[in-house]
Structure 1
Amino acid sequence: MESYKTSTLSNGLLWFGASVSIAEIFTGTLFVPLGFTRGFFAIIAGHIIGCILLYYAGIIGAKSGKSSMESVGLSFGNKGRNFFALLNVLQLVGWTAIMIIQGSRAIGIMLSTDIGMQANLLWCVIIGAAILMWVIIGPKNLEKVNIVAVGSLFILTILLSFTIFKGGSQTYINGKLSFGAAIELSIAMPLSWLPLISDYTKDAKHPLIASRVSVITYFAGSVFMYTIGLGAAIFTGESDIAVIMYKAGFGILGVLIILFSTVTTTYLDVYSAGVSLKTINSNLSEKTMSILVCIIGTVTAILMPVEQFESFLLLIGSVFAPMISILIADYFILKKDNLNKSVDKVNFIIWLVGFVIYRVLLNVDMVMGSTIPVMFITLIICVITNKIKNKRQKEIKHVFRNY
């Protein structure tokens, strides 16, 4: 492992860069049936919930000095964590493909390159190459680059928000979305970063402060992006942010927004995929694996453009929400450490129960969404089950001592 430590500024820039993405803006457009006021409230409420969970996930890495998937071993064992590490790699390859294909399509619209698949192929390769350059630069040397890239992104997105909101009147509201489903979509994006954040907080010079700054900057940036998406859909009558930038005459500035936002976000996906693969096999190189994931994600984006974005977000939630609930229960309440154990079968059964409950509750219209009830239920089951298990083990030991 590399021995350098990242600054608090570096972590803040990294996570603000993660929040500024076409994917976050697109998700915001899905809130349009609620109108601007209710939609904005759902964005805020969901992000508060999601970012609190993100913070506690980051704290575990900050305090333990372990990467996200290494820390999962505290609950599921040193072999059991490999199951979630593999799922994490798969979702990160998926995210990489989604981000690249969305970015390539958006740039194609901005440049009016109406040449079909060849345009997508060209921009997928260019975006993939730019992400690859970020990986090669590496976290140690990325702070100065990110100051320029993220600073420019912030200024450009401010200009974009003025373009979107200057009209000030709603053009249309259609479609159907419940308030609970909206909160769920708002939670889903920060929730998708749960399996990644410890990969960065563990290497911070001031881990606890870096965790707070990372989550606060992500919260601010993500809420801003969702709101731009919502405002774009309501106030301009367009749900495609690339079309809005094109009509507003952003030109090369719009291309830069899309390119840099895609790169700064997707870099975290490919880097963390490398960290997860190293968790599975310590002989692997994080950087080499990150490069491999970047290439696979780029090829996937070219050959199999990823659709069903909303379903993908909810699938991530159903896998990782119960997982992090168990990890939080074990780390903060039960003070449990299973790293010397191969697999904790009890926790795996609890996770499976949480996964099934999540999938079932997605079909139920709940005001607060599915994530919070599922996480609360999973956490309670975990605490009670483990306390009963510990009590029985103590009773058995007591019987054997008396015998």
Structure 2
Amino acid sequence: MSGPIDAPHSVHVEAPNLLTEPPPRTLGLRACLGLWGNLGVSLLLPVAATYVVLAGRPLVVTVAAIVVGAVIGSVLLGLAAAAGAREGAPAMVLLRGLLGGRMSYLPTVFNLVQCVGWATFEIVVIAEAASRVLDLPRWPFVLAGGVLATLMALRPLAAARILSRYAVWAALAAVVYLFVEVLRHPLPPIEEGGAASFWVAVDVVIALPVSWFPLAADYTRHARDGRSAFTGTAVGYGVATVAMFTLGALALAAYGAAGLDVIDALLAVPLGIVAVLVLVVVEVDEAFANIYSTAVSAQNFAARLDRRLLAGLVGLTATVLALTFDIAAYEPFLFLIGAVFVPLVGIFVVVYFVLPRPAWNVTERAPARPLLLLPWVAGFVAYQLTLPTFFTGTGAGWTSWWSTRQADLGIDPANGWSASLVSLAVAVLLTVAVTLPFRRGR
């Protein structure tokens, strides 16, 4: 096994401040496993298990859906991570080779919006959980979470070293303890709520690994080789995804009859408050990752902007938003942006790994590929026709419009399909269709 970033010669090596500087290759397999395992250990996943459980069916069916979704999503994430390691480029710069230098600005804008939003959301999750556990006001935890995440984003490889050496073991201990305690409780079938079908449950799980696609290469450009990046990312995040979703499902089965939500259920186990507090602290790494990736993504517009200044500004913005903004109302919009990237994953995998091609061009002069906008848009449309992003209030018109289009096309709103897999299939097939004539003409 190749060593992690704790080799003596690399202790003080950090990520480059400018996009024009080459990235140090210090992440080995163990470091990639530790980093992505930590990123997968998030309180959002057991909470999201509420939408994964298959009511009235044996728990093993829910676990099977979790495993299928985690495998599909994590393999796709691992492929993006491997490409980042092979090219030594961050995620949005990597997309220059797919769409072209200037056309890569389009996904970059989407990614900036979602990264700031998710950084804010993670800070809110940290503060809310800590506030509930300790019965204290929320705002001090917002400030503490925002400051710590920003400091980690200033020195990302040092943060990765800490995560792979120490935090992963604390997270593992907390998760194992909660599993043991929950499994000691009777686990009756869950009779209410949850996913409408097996494939809808799979879809929810796929969404979590795929949401990291626009960020993966920001970290794995520092990996020593593509194999370590793929294995560490896919296995680390995949195993964590299965564990955290399954923990949430088991907690709902064990304590759901008492009317408790997932967090309250985990707090109800003996010493659950200690284990949840450990997970709250570990949650900071998700906020850090989003802050750092916002800064690196912005460098796709201006390569000579210092990522440390950008990270500081993003961290400050996310912290202020977490103090003042109702981020829960913003959550559907974040999932809508996530749906934008689902078909782009399929297009990238086909063009980079499947179709024959020349060297991958990540320069600002990379030629535009406007034809690839067709499968991207078609994949997004297929996603919304399968499962429109659900908004309430002022955004309800979006959901209503797509629901009307479903009715026009005779698509059952309760079709039970996986929107992610439908979107991926449409994007992949159209990508092959729009590129094949040019391949034959060579």
Q: TM-score surpassing 0.5?
A: yes
- Show the 5 A alignment for 1:252-271: 253-254=274-275, 256-271=277-292
Q: Distance in 2 between matches of 1:78 and 1:4?
A: 25
* AA aligned opposite 2:99: F
* AA aligned opposite 2:161: E
SS at match of 1:21: coil
SS at match of 2:380: helix
Tell me whether 1:345 sits opposite 2:370 in the alignment. Answer: yes
Tell me whether 1:381 sits opposite 2:430 in the alignment. Answer: yes
Q: Which of 14, 25, 44 matches 2:35?
A: 14
- Show the 5 A alignment for 1:60-99: 60-99=83-122
Tell me which moved more, 252-261 or 217-226. 252-261
| Deviation of 1:147 (Å) | 1.6
* AA aligned opposite 1:68: A
| Deviation of 1:204 (Å) | 0.9
* AA aligned opposite 1:355: F
Q: Percent identity?
A: 23
| Deviation of 1:388 (Å) | 2.3
Tell me which moved more, 212-221 or 307-316. 307-316
Could you report, residue by residue, the CA deviation over 1:146-168 in whole angstroms, capped at 9, with x for unpaired residues? 42222111101111222222112
CA contact (8 A) 1:5 1:204 kept: yes
Structure 2 match to 1:370: 419
Could you report, residue by residue, the CA deviation over 1:180-216 in whole angstroms, capped at 9, with x for unpaired residues? 2211101000010111111122211233223212210
Q: Distance in 2 between matches of 1:229 and 1:141?
A: 27
Gaps of 5+ in 2: 1-20, 389-412
**Which of the pair is proportionally richer in helix?**
1
CA distance 1:105–1:249, shift in 2 (3 Å):
farther
CA contact (8 A) 1:66 1:198 kept: yes
Q: Distance in 2 between matches of 1:14 and 1:287?
A: 20
CA distance 1:29–1:175, shift in 2 (3 Å):
closer
Tell me whether 1:128 sits opposite 2:146 in the alignment. Answer: yes
Tell me whether 1:200 sits opposite 2:223 in the alignment. Answer: no
SS at match of 2:95: helix
CA contact (8 A) 1:164 1:232 kept: yes
* AA aligned opposite 1:236: Y
| Deviation of 1:52 (Å) | 1.6
Structure 2 match to 1:27: 48
SS at match of 2:327: coil
Q: Distance in 1 between matches of 2:138 and 2:285?
A: 20
Tell me whether 1:148 sits opposite 2:169 in the alignment. Answer: no
- Show the 5 A alignment for 1:1-400: 1=21, 2-34=23-55, 35=57, 36-113=59-136, 119-140=137-158, 142-144=160-162, 146-170=164-188, 172-175=190-193, 177-179=195-197, 180-237=199-256, 240-248=261-269, 250=271, 253-254=274-275, 256-307=277-328, 311-312=332-333, 314-336=335-357, 337=360, 339=362, 340-362=365-387, 364-366=413-415, 369-389=418-438
CA contact (8 A) 1:326 1:382 kept: yes
Tell me which moved more, 217-226 or 301-310. 301-310
Q: Distance in 1 between matches of 2:267 and 2:104?
A: 45
Q: Distance in 1 between matches of 2:361 and 2:434?
A: 15
| Deviation of 1:242 (Å) | 3.6
Gaps of 5+ in 1: 114-118, 395-403
- Could you say which structure has the greater relative contact order, defined with CA pairs below 8 angstroms and 6 or more residues apart? 1
| Deviation of 1:5 (Å) | 2.1
Q: Distance in 1 between matches of 2:151 and 2:361?
A: 38
CA contact (8 A) 1:46 1:186 kept: yes
| Deviation of 1:137 (Å) | 3.6
Q: Distance in 1 between matches of 2:415 and 2:82?
A: 29
Q: Distance in 1 between matches of 2:152 and 2:168?
A: 13
* AA aligned opposite 2:116: V
Q: Distance in 2 between matches of 1:47 and 1:375?
A: 15
Could you report, residue by residue, the CA deviation over 1:284-337 in whole angstroms, capped at 9, with x for unpaired residues? 122322222222112112111322587356424421111122212221233345
Q: Distance in 2 between matches of 1:152 and 1:176?
A: 30
Structure 2 match to 1:116: none
Q: Distance in 2 between matches of 1:189 and 1:203?
A: 23
Could you report, residue by residue, the CA deviation over 1:338-391 in whole angstroms, capped at 9, with x for unpaired residues? 654453221123311221111111155455512122212211111111222455
Give the superposed CA RMSD. 2.4
TM-score (norm 2): 0.81
CA distance 1:231–1:173, shift in 2 (3 Å):
same
Q: Distance in 2 between matches of 1:262 and 1:98?
A: 11
* AA aligned opposite 1:129: V
SS at match of 2:296: helix
Could you report, residue by residue, the CA deviation over 1:8-30 in whole angstroms, capped at 9, with x for unpaired residues? 22221110110111111211132
* AA aligned opposite 2:191: I
Q: Distance in 1 between matches of 2:242 and 2:272?
A: 25
Q: Distance in 2 between matches of 1:38 and 1:105?
A: 31
SS at match of 1:203: coil
CA contact (8 A) 2:292 2:311 kept: yes
CA distance 1:172–1:138, shift in 2 (3 Å):
closer
